[in-house]
Amino acid sequence: MAGKKPTQDWMADWQALQKQYWSAWQDATRNAAGTVPDPALPWHEGLEQWSRQFANSGKQNETAERLLGSAKAYVALMQSMLAVAAGKDAGAGVQAAWTQALRDGFDLPGLNAAFANNPLAAMLQGLRGPGAHGFSELPQAFAPFLAQAKAEGMSWLNAPAFGYAREHQERMQKAAAAFAQFQDAVGKYNALMLQSSQRSFAIFENKLAERSEPGRQIDSLRGLYDLWVDAAEEAYAEIALSDDFRKVYGDVVNAQMRVRAHVQAEVERLGSELGMPTRSELDSVHKRLHGLRRNGADARIAGLERELASVRSELTALKKAVPRAVAAHKIPAPSAKTAKRKR
Amino acid sequence: MGPIRIEPQKALEEAQRFNRKLAAGLSSLRALDEVNYGATAKEEVYREDKLVLYRFRGDKAPTAKVPILIAYALVNRPYMVDLQDDRSLVRNLLARGEDVYLIDWGYPDPSDRYLTLDDYINGYLDRCVDAVARRHKLDAINLLGICQGGAFSLCYASTHPDKIRNLITMVTPVDFHTSDNMLSHWTRGMDVDLFVDTLGNVPADLMNWCYLTLKPVRLFQQKYIGLVDILDDKIELENFLRMEKWIFDSPDQAGEAFRQFIKDFYQANKLVNGGLTIGDKDVSLKNIKMPVLNIFAEQDHLVPPSASRPLRQHVGTRDYTELAFKGGHIGIYVSGRAQREVPGAIHEWLSART
């Protein structure tokens, strides 16, 4: 039972833990450049400090970044759950309170606002993917066009273009329309992720209810977190295997490709104007080379096959001719012994 | 009695322990050198474009008369089969007397964009099979295809049956349209022509992102929370980093081969439905009459067992064996159980057929 101490004692412990926590960070960062963190800052700020140092270290940086991103979220969750553990009779824990603690854990100051009630969307916020570099700048690039288009009910994007810059304007209209479609598709995707996040909390409560039997109860913060992860994955799988998701996922990918294609075309145009070789030119060369190589290989193989066929037919002819010649000239066939000596 | 018995004191200690480990991890992570991989000596025996064919060297000479050629997937690096001393399918096969060759497909660059499945299967793979067979003066060798490499091996064994003595497939998708195949489900709404026409080669980062989103909470977050537990264990940390390196050290995908693979395998499910053509050769699993060993992982989230099992109904062989491994798509190579069970099973199965 947790209720032997009054709440204020737990709060004192909590503060003591905070101090130890900061002292651990200070130990860890003592030899590194940078300032010592202010103990008044929330927990996750310590992780930020660490993150900033790692950003300059180079070594194992990617793993450290992933570790820190996850740790930050987990520390926030722990903080939220500790508050429940310290403030309530943990032995008679109420599912809803713990679920709320989880929700709160995704909504702490300093964390990405997208975490609020929607941890899945936050994890997938790079939906465009690191393989699609440059996409983060697109909203800024298209912002003026989209702002104008939205203000005019998107009709501007369909307005006929004319005049000297007609072609340019038409291309930009198409690109802006493609980007608006992409944004729309991402919005639908995020809505499904929100649905999945909400469902994860419902499944979490159900899973908690199943743990009431003696021997199955959860006795650690990690255990509680792991249970939520199981719930979140279950909820995500339900959504991700649905027909709705297939459609929305396809729409996001396809819409992104349309935007990319427009951007690439603009870059090509710019490159051409500057006398730079373009992607299309290189593709064309690669395609021809590939074709030449395949044709060359095919021709070589065909040539070798012809040569082989010719050698085979000569060999067959020889095999037939030799016994006839031997018979005609009465040449004695070489004995095994003679043949061996000759070798 | 409620479901939660978290005592505040223990919760505080747990949080403190987590933070202490995390803080100490700063120095342990910084002190680590770059991790290496590849445990077994090997020699290059054939090279073509970016492809290299290796033969592994064990501590003793091989006793098997027919060598095994491993064809890995294009989407990851093949050193997963020989990651480190105590996690090596290759090393364990060699220790049992097998003679092991491996195809390293290399890292395609934009000049490889137009490589097709015909180039990979009837070209590169075929020439590697020939190179191995020639070295051993054999007409046919054993082929071990892994994941996408397994699908390639099925196509190859179907169209070049005389060159394959025994076929082993590991975590190989056959029926791409089973209800729990998330990856396949997602690809079916994709316009793959638009995708490849736009991207050219498909960036590895994009592929990896897609794989991670199959289990986003586990793979983006929980895995790294678990990492905190081992931050003070150098060996475990190195193992983790080695695996991490493998996961993200991925080649880009040659655009045309990717286009065809998604269209014919993922979208049209032609391996099962029929109508698959690679180059000028029609692929039918019924042509596979050599002995087949199909190994799959019961907890595989990338290639669910339901995608691998149907091979039994579609191959033409009467000598079909199945091995269900208790583990996941990666665990089948690197887990302790895998070291104990998989190489031995492969060796015994082959020994009974050579």
- Helices marked H in B170-279: 182-187, 192-199, 204-212, 216-217, 223-229, 234-248, 255-260, 270-273
**Most B-contacting residue of A254, A266, A281 (CB-CB within 10 A), to test interface:** A254
Q: Which of A128, A103, A104, A126 is nearest to A232 (CA)?
A: A103
Residue A7 has pLDDT above 50, yes or no: no
Distance CA A206, CA B112 (A): 51
Q: Which residues of B touch A131 (CB under 8 A)?
A: 202-207, 209
Q: What is the dihedral of CA B127, B130, B131, B132, to 10 degrees?
A: 130
- ipTM of the complex as predicted: 0.92
Q: Do A257 and B220 touch (CB under 8 A)?
A: no
Least confident range from A127-141, B132-146, B259-273, B305-319: namely A127-141
Which neighbouring-strand residues pair with B295? B170, B323
Mean pLDDT of chain B: 94
For residue B11, what pLDDT band results from cuts at 50, 70 and 90?
confident
Distance of CA A343 to the CA centre of its chain: 68
Tell me, yes or no, whether B115 lies in a domain.
Answer: yes
Question: Which residues neighbour B191 within 8 Å (Cβ) at sequence distance 6 or greater?
Answer: A250, A253, A254, A257
Report the C-alpha dihedral over residues A297, B169, B60, B84, rounded to 10 degrees: 100
A172 touches chain B (CB under 8 A): no
Question: Is-contact B174 B310, C-beta < 8 A?
Answer: yes
Annotated active-site residue B128? The verdict is no
Between CA A323 and CA B245 the distance in angstroms is 67
Note whether residue B18 is domain-resident. Answer: no
Angle CA(B323)–CA(B325)–CA(B326) in degrees, nearest 5?
A: 150
A263 contact residues in B (CB cutoff 8 A): none
* B41-48/B51-57 β-pairing: antiparallel
| Residue B88 pLDDT greater than 60, yes or no | yes
Contact B288, B151 (CB under 8 A): no
CA distances (Å), A231 to each of A226, A236, A237, A238, in order?
A: 9, 9, 10, 11
CA distance A245 to A229: 21
CB contact under 8 A, A240 and B186: yes
**Which pLDDT does position A50 carry in this prediction?**
57
Q: Is the dihedral of CA B224, B229, B231, B235 positive or negative?
A: negative
Q: Which residues from chain A sit within 8 angstroms of residue B29, using beta carbons? A: 54, 59-60, 63-64, 67
Res B286 pLDDT > 90: yes
Choice between A341 and B235, residue whose per-residue pLDDT is larger: B235
- Residue B136 structure tokens: 């051993």
State the pLDDT confidence band at A55, using cuts at 50, 70 and 90. Answer: low
Secondary structure in 3-state letters for A224-274: HHHHHHHHHHHHHHHHHCCHHHHHHHHHHHHHHHHHHHHHHHHHHHHHHHC
Give percent above pLDDT 90 in chain B: 82
Inter-chain touch B199–A67, beta carbons under 8 Å: no
DSSP for B144-163 reads EEETHHHHHHHHHHHH-GGG
In the prediction, which pLDDT does A141 show? 58
Which residue from B108, B151, B191 is spatially nearest to B310, judged by alpha carbons? B151
Q: In terms of pLDDT, which residue wins out, B148 or A47? A: B148
- Cβ contacts of residue A205 below 8 Å, gap of 6+? A95, A96, A99
A330: DSSP letter: T
Residues in Cβ contact with B152 at an 8 Å cutoff, skipping those fewer than 6 apart: B71, B117, B120, B121, B125, B145
The count of C-alpha atoms lying within 13 angstroms of the C-alpha of A100, restricted to the half-sphere facing its C-beta, is 8
Chain-centroid distance of CA B332 in Å reads 9
Contacts of A264 in chain B (CB under 8 A): 198
- Give me the residues paired with residue B53 across strands: B46, B103
CATH number at residue B189: 3.40.50.1820
pLDDT at A288: 93
Under the banding of pLDDT at 50, 70 and 90, the label for residue A3 is: very low
**Nearest CA to CA, how far is A249 from chain B (Å)?**
7
Q: Which residue has the higher pLDDT, B34 or B203?
A: B203
pLDDT-wise least confident of A25-39, A255-269, B18-32, B77-91: A25-39
Distance from CA of A43 to the nearest CA of B (A): 10
Q: Which range marks the domain in which residue B265 is found?
A: 41-220+252-351
Examine residue B237 and state whether it is found in any structural domain, yes or no. Answer: no
Site from B14, B17, B19 to mutate, A interface, most A CB atoms within 10 angstroms: B19
CB B274 within 8 A of CB B98: no
Confidence band (pLDDT; 50, 70, 90) for A81? confident
**Shortest Cα–Cα distance, A257 to chain B (Å):** 6
In a domain, B26, yes or no: no
Q: How far is B195 from chain A (nearest CA, A)?
A: 6
Q: B216-220 long-range CB contacts below 8 Å, 24 or more apart?
A: B216/A120, B216/A123, B216/A124, B216/A233, B216/A236, B217/A119, B217/A120, B217/A123, B217/A229, B217/A232, B217/A233, B217/A236, B218/A229, B218/A233, B220/A66, B220/A69, B220/A70, B220/A123
CB-based contact B180 A241, cutoff 8 Å: yes
Contact across the interface for B189 and A247, Cβ inside 8 Å: yes
Question: What's the confidence (pLDDT) of residue A128?
Answer: 47
d(C-alpha B307, C-alpha A188), whole Å = 30
Question: How many domains are contained in chain B?
Answer: 1
Average pLDDT across chain A, whole number: 73
More confident residue, B7 or A16: B7
Q: Which one of A22, A188, A283 makes the best mutation probe of the B interface by having the most chain B beta carbons within 10 Å?
A: A283
Instruction: Please answer whether residues A260 and B198 qualify as being in contact, where contact means their C-beta atoms are separated by less than 8 angstroms.
Output: yes
Task: Give residue A36's pLDDT.
Answer: 41
Hey, how many other C-beta atoms are within 10 angstroms of the C-beta on B216? Answer: 21
pLDDT at A182 over 80: yes
pLDDT the model gives residue A191 = 92
**Amino acid B161: pLDDT:** 98
Q: How far is CA B61 from the centre of its chain?
A: 26
Q: What is the pLDDT of residue B196?
A: 97
The pLDDT tens digits of the residues spanning A102-119 come to 777 665 444 444 445 566
- Given A21, A53, A287, which is nearest B19 (Cβ)? A21
Give the Cα-Cα-Cα angle B164, B165, B169 (nearest 5 degrees): 70
Distance, in Å, from the CA atom of B242 to the CA atom of B35, rounded to the nearest integer, reads 6
H or E, element range at A17: helix A7-29
pLDDT at site A87: 61
Question: Which of A41, A43, A34, A39 minimizes the C-alpha distance to A19?
Answer: A39
Q: What percent of chain A stands above pLDDT 70?
A: 58
Q: What pLDDT digit, counting tens, does each position of A126-176 carry?
A: 444 444 444 445 555 556 656 666 666 566 667 777 777 777 788 888 888
- Is the pLDDT at B150 greater than 80? The verdict is yes
* Nearest by CB: B16 against A20, A233, A237: A20
Tokens of B138: 């054999």
Structure tokens at B195: 């995708």
B44: confidence class by pLDDT, cuts 50, 70, 90: very high
Whether pLDDT at A10 is above 60: no
pLDDT (tens digit per residue) in B175-212: 999 999 999 999 999 999 999 999 999 999 999 999 99
Spell out which residues of chain B touch residue A226, defining contact as CB-CB under 8 Å.
222
More confident residue, B226 or A34: B226
SS3 A34: coil
Residue A329's pLDDT is what?
A: 74
Out of A159-173, A211-225, B31-45, B128-142, give the one with best mean pLDDT: B128-142
All residues of chain A having their beta carbon less than 8 Å from the beta carbon of residue B220 are 66, 69-70, 123
Cα separation, B338 vs B28, in Å, equals 29
A227-285 tens-digit pLDDT: 989 999 999 999 999 999 999 999 999 999 999 999 899 889 988 889 998 999 999 99
- Average pLDDT for residues A87-109, to the nearest whole number? 61
Helix count and strand count (H, E) for chain A:
11, 0
Q: Which of residues 7-46 of A touch B (CB under 8 A)?
A: 10, 13-14, 17, 20-21, 24-25, 27-29
Looking at residue A71, its pLDDT comes to 77
**Within 10 Å of residue B278's Cβ, how many Cβ atoms?**
21
